[in-house]
Amino acid sequence: MKIDLHVHAKERSACSIASEKQHIESAIKFGLDAIIFTDHNRLVPLEHIKELNKRYYPFRIYGGIEIRISDCGEDVLVLGLHDKILEEKSWLYPDLYDYVRKNNGFIALAHPFRYKNSIGIDIEKYIPDAVEIHSTNIGRDDYKLIRKLAEKLNLNLITNSDGHNAEHVGIYYNDIEYMPNSEQELVKYLKEGRYKCCCNHFRVSKFNESVLKREKLIKELIKENKDRTYYNKLTGNWEGEFDRVLMGKSYVI
């Protein structure tokens, strides 16, 4: 089963420009078998997930959540759990980790090292199930740091789109050995590492062409002493792209 574990829909993530429908239809077009909506601090209601699965059968839709850790700004993906407390509480990482472990969920560190070369949570004491190594929000500059972290802690790697644009869904994905019969079985396979990390090389190349054009403009704006707000107003693009270039890194994937 080819699955993208990290997708944001504009119904719940204000930063996304694509609806659930656009993401799902794009995922089907690009040959995926399933996606997981992991919106920022928002869950997908279970009844709605059931409706989506009936509408798009045999394609599969799951619900997860991306949680911003309150004291450090790190982001983690939580899969396999649907308790409203996940979106209602301001989480510290040890508390979230314990909650996920007690309830047999899956927890993964999302796009580490994006704006700094360190991790803001005690990942060595509270070791997650996986760390994300490829997505549209992880540049090549960070691959070595992520691999070193994964090797040190014996972590599984996951690869996803972190799609906010339907055209990016499935650019990276995970190919699971067996088709899970339930969400619990999906979590089990992920924890056991029974999958391969995959990508569409042609789509990665096209993505990078666009990134290089945007980053050329950002470098010109920096020389003119313009800031991230000016970049956003000028282009409508996310300020994080400007921040990344400003710190000497790139979003080339």
Q: Domain map of the chain by residue range?
A: 2-199, 208-246
Residues 6+ apart with CB under 8 A from 127: 153, 155
pLDDT single digits (tens) 203-230: 999 999 999 999 999 999 999 999 999 9
pLDDT at 20: 98
Compute the half-sphere exposure of residue 180: CA atoms within 13 Å on the CB side of its CA. Answer: 23
Distance of CA 197 to CAs 22, 30, 96, 127, 201, Å? Answer: 24, 16, 26, 20, 13
First to last CA, the chain: 24
What is the pLDDT confidence band of residue 113, given thresholds at 50, 70 and 90? very high
Is residue 172 a contact partner of residue 137, using CB atoms and an 8 Å limit? no
CATH top-level class for 2-199?
Answer: alpha beta
pLDDT single digits (tens) 148-158: 999 999 999 99
Determine the distance from the C-alpha atom of residue 115 to the mean position of all C-alpha atoms in its chain, rounded to a whole number. Answer: 15
Phi and psi of 96, rounded to 5°? -65, -45
State the amino acid at position 92 in one-letter form: L
pTM listed for this prediction: 0.95
> Is 230 exposed, middle or buried (CB count within 10 Å of its CB: 0-12, 13-18, 19+)?
middle
pLDDT single digits (tens) 130-172: 999 999 999 999 999 999 999 999 999 999 999 999 999 999 9
Q: Mean pLDDT throughout 96-102?
A: 98
Q: Mean pLDDT throughout 26-50?
A: 98
> Which residue, 161, 166, 163, is CA-closest to 23?
166
Axis-axis angle for helices 228-235, 239-246 (nearest 10):
140
How far apart, in whole angstroms, are the C-alpha atoms of residue 220 and residue 55? 47
